[in-house]
Amino acid sequence: MQHSVRLSNTDIRQSDNRVVLENISLTIGAGEFTYLIGKTGSGKTSLLKTLYAALPLTNGNGEVAGFDLKTISRNNVHLLRRKLGIVFQDFNLLTDRNVEENLLFVLRATGWTDTAEMETRVQEVLQGVNMPEKRHAMPYELSGGEQQRIVIARALLNRPELLIADEPTGNLDPETSDDVLVLMRNLAKEHNTAVLCATHDYRILQNFPARIIRIRNGKLIDDEGVAIK
């Protein structure tokens, strides 16, 4: 099986160099949907930041989307991130431009230059999140759920191998949260994109069972697809 994430015997450190997860191992296969759960301060966000190289990996071994996290240079981090999609609970859309311009901004920033190809890709990702009619809408004209769909579309622009979602439903009502979860699970299935979704929302774990990785006492516990009862 091809793996999008492979960590072995790794410590995860916070920005102050304090170890929050000790001697952990984790593999996530291509197209696999996985939840990451744990109490506030348990190390979820530090683990995610390590995966997208915002925090350095200093010991053990780690590979994400074919990049070695231990040896990657600062100059090549942007190449890793082109293979990742990242979704936060705060939408972080540029408020002074419409949906299409938000997406084109990301394409230009990640090296796209052909105007026709960029316009086609924008149409494709908006269609993928069922939002093609919102192409010219401003962010303030969209509901929270619609904004999160646009954020997911933005994360998919470069056809990522791994989608990292940090509390993606944290600012959404239950019905909208369900819609976003269904969307991400379908994307994993249809595009063979691995998804790692950190969440506090135990309701969605029950409604949409999948593999669960728990953080407890500085360790990872793999529940192997058993939903919380």
Res. 1 pLDDT band, cuts 50 70 90: low
Asked if the model's pLDDT at residue 32 lies above 70, the reply is yes
Structural domains of the chain ordered from first start: 1-83+163-229 (3.40.50.300), 89-159 (no CATH)
Q: What is the pLDDT of residues 152-206, one digit of tens each?
A: 999 999 999 999 999 888 888 898 889 889 988 988 888 889 999 999 888 999 9
Residue showing tokens 């890709």: 121
Q: How far apart are CA 59 and CA 70, in angstroms?
A: 7
pTM for this predicted structure = 0.90
The 3-state DSSP class for residue 100 equals helix
**Considering only 30-39, 144-153, 220-229, which range has the smallest mean pLDDT?**
220-229
Q: How far apart are CA 219 and CA 206, in angstroms?
A: 23
- For residue 212, give Cα distances in angstroms to 32, 71, 163, 166: 11, 29, 16, 14
Instruction: Give the orientation angle of helix 115-128 with respect to helix 99-109, to 10 degrees.
Output: 120
Asked if the model's pLDDT at residue 227 lies above 60, the reply is no
Instruction: Identify the sign of the CA torsion 16, 49, 37, 26.
Output: negative
Burial 120-155 (b: 16+ CB within 10 A, else e): ebbeebbebbebeebbebebeebebbbbbbbbbbbb
Max mean pLDDT range (90-94, 119-123, 185-189): 119-123
* Mean pLDDT over each residue of the chain, to the nearest integer: 90
